[in-house]
Structure 1
Amino acid sequence: MNDLTFAKSYVPLDPGKFRDPDVTARGEARARVALERLDTLWINTGTLCNITCVNCYIESSPTNDRLVYITAGDARAYLDEIADLRLGTREIGFTGGEPFMNPDILQLLEDALARGFEVLVLTNAMQPMQRPRIRAGLLRLRESYGERLVLRVSLDHYTAALHEAERGPDTFERTLAGVDWLAGNGFRIAIAGRSVWGEPDAVARAGYGALFADRGWSIDPGDTASLVIFPEMDARVDVPEITTACWGILGISPDAMMCATSRMVVKRRGEERPTVLPCTLLPYDAEFGMGSTLAQSLRADGGMFSGGAVKLCHPHCAKFCVLGGGSCAPA
């Protein structure tokens, strides 16, 4: 693998790539990532969302229910398993869709917080979060658990025009209003942006910083956990496969990958039980299922896994994580 760059223009993905779990199209050994520790367990609350974004990582929308609402009972089984297996998990992350559309969301958050976990919620901070019942519940949770509850709000750009190019008209001011409410009530907040416009990181952070200052939000734009700027993904863009040699070429350790420290739980429509996955970006790919329990996921073998280790056999592994440096977890 001599050329680690990839085209910015849209080109067809090489059909020979990402086919064999063990070997790349060039016949080189495919890289894999072992789970070092389960630091974060992600729970997908369902793919239904109040808006449709142009480049949503998992195609959430007001009509996409391919991942159905996970229940508090579903989630408790995994919290129990973390304790039973003594996994030492630090954080439970909730993502969607829009988590605040899930009828059980407040119970889901309280169950995790009550067991001592840090809790991270990914939200667009719009109408679902701003309903009176949800606001009252959030205030109660903040009062009880303080800074162990973090809400990370998707603000794709610091300008209305580019944010709404992704999220649709009339979304910018509504999101700002949601963050204003969170900031005004003492919640711990982070912001998630996108790098789709090819803006240099320093320029983007300066732009966000000016917005934060103007709104009076106590968010440090230079802190990569407080302001996360995600790499863009597009399945139409050709990316290189990641081989075992790439770690040395890139100067990156496999331990730095998201799947070295996290797993995700989803509940697919029509399936009786939730499924454990290695990654938040692959909710629909059946071949990446690791079983219905955390114990099964730790020993998943065959296909895309080897003794629980993940074989990086998907374009997202290359573009988002290895080359893009993306991670859904705070730094």
Structure 2
Amino acid sequence: MKDVVSRSANHGKFRDPQVTADGQPRASVSLRSPQTLWFNTGTLCNIECANCYILSSPTNDALVYISAAEVNGFLDQIQDRAWPVREIGFTGGEPFMNPEIIEMARLALSRGHEVLILTNAMQPMMRKTMRRGLLQLLNTYGDRLTLRVSVDHFSAELHDRERGRGSFERTLYGMGWLRDNGFRMAVAGRSVWGDNEADSRAGYAALFAKHGFDIDAQDPGRTVLFPEMDETAEVPEITTACWGILNKRPQDVMCASSRMVVKRKGADRPTVLACTLLPYSAEFELGETLADAERDVHLNHPHCAKFCVLGGASCST
């Protein structure tokens, strides 16, 4: 649904997966060394943000809850295919809306993977059952579990403009519980309001110091700053020649090292996507197994150019 907007804004670009609009061979990326497998736990969320790239909300169930049994099946496939996966990531929606999130995280941790859960640290995470489950995971697996909390801006005013009045304080309350219990935390922010990176990191550093959060604001893996996903912006297509021109390597692009599993509403089984940023693009749906997902990915979307090649974005830690 969002592809129609983005591609029409780019004047005939991103139509053919093999060639660009001016007839040059389009760049592609091979799965070199899969390090992160993401699971989208479902698009339902307790809030509705103003600029959510995946359109999560209390009513959007386009991606339904994935189950622990389904996750376990993909963990088996990782082992069977000898993928060198270091990290299992859980995203949404709000992962703590999914009643099986604790068991899914436990399954991944029990196999030796690191686990990253993306959350707004609000009411779903703070339910008694979730807090009890998180404490059990912490006691068993320690700092192999990281919770990355969405703090869109270091000021309450701008964060709440994105996520709703009072959300900043509710998120900080959840982060305080994580801090007091010794969880490893990271933060995801946005650079949507025009702050330069230095100012943004300084602002987050002050926020972390004020609240005693053990998060390094200067570490891009612990304080991740995502650019706004403006699908009306025109971006260049990436050709095979661009790698040398830009001094970039295909293996440095996110789809060289990660995949995401989703379950679509009405589907019998989950499917594997090339990218966490393109949950609704059929072209980037690779198949129902990790074996299917080992094929090359053609960079046939504006996000491929803007965020991954030109912006160097990565969702992993």
Shift of 1:201: 0.5
Find the residue that maps to 1:189 and give its secondary structure. Answer: strand
Q: Cα deviations across residues 236-264 of structure 1 (Å, max 9, x unaligned)?
A: 21111111122222222111111000000
CA distance, structure 2, for counterparts of residue 286 and residue 180 of structure 1: 40
CA distance, structure 2, for counterparts of residue 128 and residue 242 of structure 1: 40
Which of 34, 50, 53 matches 2:49? 53
CA distance, structure 2, for counterparts of residue 309 and residue 14 of structure 1: 24
Whether 2:280 is the aligned partner of 1:293: answer: no
1:246-285 to 2 correspondences below 5 Å: 246-285=242-281
Q: Which amino acid aligns with 2:134?
A: L
CA distance, structure 2, for counterparts of residue 166 and residue 289 of structure 1: 29
Deviating above 2 A after TM superposition, structure 1's stretches of 4 or more consecutive aligned residues are none
Q: Cα deviations across residues 44-92 of structure 1 (Å, max 9, x unaligned)?
A: 0000001111111211111110000000011111000111111121110
Whether 2:93 is the aligned partner of 1:73: answer: no
CA distance, structure 1, for counterparts of residue 201 and residue 281 of structure 2: 34
1:65-214 to 2 correspondences below 5 Å: 65-214=61-210
Q: Which amino acid aligns with 2:117?
A: V
Which segments of 5 or more consecutive residues in structure 1 lack a partner in the other structure? 1-9, 299-307
2:58 match: 62
2:296 match: 309
Residues 101 and 128, structure 1, Cα contact 8 Å, conserved in 2? yes
Q: Cα deviations across residues 195-249 of structure 1 (Å, max 9, x unaligned)?
A: 1112110110000000000001111111111100011112121111111122222
Find the residue that maps to 2:194 and give its secondary structure. Answer: coil
Q: Which amino acid aligns with 2:312?
A: G
Output the TM-score relative to the length of structure 2: 0.96
Find the residue that maps to 2:50 and give its secondary structure. Answer: coil
CA distance, structure 2, for counterparts of residue 33 and residue 12 of structure 1: 24
Find the residue that maps to 1:290 and give its secondary structure. Answer: strand
Find the residue that maps to 2:225 and give its secondary structure. Answer: strand
1:19 match: 15
1:6 match: none
CA distance, structure 1, for counterparts of residue 7 and residue 15 of structure 2: 18
Shift of 1:296: 1.6
Which of 40, 44, 53 matches 2:40? 44
Identical-pair percentage: 62
Q: Cα deviations across residues 142-178 of structure 1 (Å, max 9, x unaligned)?
A: 0000000000000000001111111111100001111
CA distance, structure 1, for counterparts of residue 27 and residue 148 of structure 2: 31
**How much is the aligned-residue C-alpha RMSD, in angstroms?**
1.3
Residues 12 and 237, structure 1, Cα contact 8 Å, conserved in 2? no
Residues 232 and 320, structure 1, Cα contact 8 Å, conserved in 2? no
1:328 match: 315
Shift of 1:12: 6.2
How many residues end up aligned between the 2 structures?
312
2:3 match: none
Residues 7 and 302, structure 2, Cα contact 8 Å, conserved in 1? no
Output the TM-score relative to the length of structure 1: 0.92
Find the residue that maps to 2:291 and give its secondary structure. Answer: helix
Shift of 1:11: 11
CA distance, structure 2, for counterparts of residue 11 and residue 327 of structure 1: 22
Which segments of 5 or more consecutive residues in structure 2 lack a partner in the other structure? 1-5
Q: Which amino acid aligns with 2:157?
A: A
Residues 33 and 259, structure 1, Cα contact 8 Å, conserved in 2? yes
Q: Cα deviations across residues 81-115 of structure 1 (Å, max 9, x unaligned)?
A: 11111112111000000000001111101111111
Label 1:11 to 1:145 Cα distance change in 2 as closer, same or farther (>3 A): closer
CA distance, structure 2, for counterparts of residue 127 and residue 237 of structure 1: 35
Find the residue that maps to 2:186 and give its secondary structure. Answer: strand
Residues 7 and 14, structure 2, Cα contact 8 Å, conserved in 1? no
CA distance, structure 2, for counterparts of residue 321 and residue 165 of structure 1: 27
Q: Which amino acid aligns with 2:53?
A: Y
CA distance, structure 1, for counterparts of residue 52 and residue 311 of structure 2: 17
CA distance, structure 2, for counterparts of residue 253 and residue 296 of structure 1: 23
Residues 11 and 237, structure 1, Cα contact 8 Å, conserved in 2? no
